[in-house]
Structure 1
Amino acid sequence: MTIAAQIAEALEVQLPCYDAEKLTNQGSLAHIVLKDQVYTLRITRAGKLILTK
């Protein structure tokens, strides 16, 4: 079980939980589509997440 999944379970939250590094295929960028809009998820060198349109 991933750390994120453990945290979600500990908080008893029933939300989907995803590993950002898996979403980016161990890279730093991924595209996410919502209703025909494409967003870019970026993992910074500091380990922060940025979601842009």
Structure 2
Amino acid sequence: MSLAGKLDRPATKAALEALPDTMRGEIIDGDLYAFPRPWSHRRGLSVEPQDG
């Protein structure tokens, strides 16, 4: 069973481009598949430390 809901319409390029920088995705047969970007690709992103 999938954790994601199934849409009644095919995924669009806009949905793919709306993914955050920490994710990568692809559209296969009208379905958007999104995955976390490997850590090595995230190193260049600026991340502010959280006060804890």
- Alignment TM-score, normalising by the size of structure 1: 0.31
Q: Which has the higher helix share?
A: 1
- Alignment TM-score, normalising by the size of structure 2: 0.32
Q: Which has the higher strand share?
A: 1
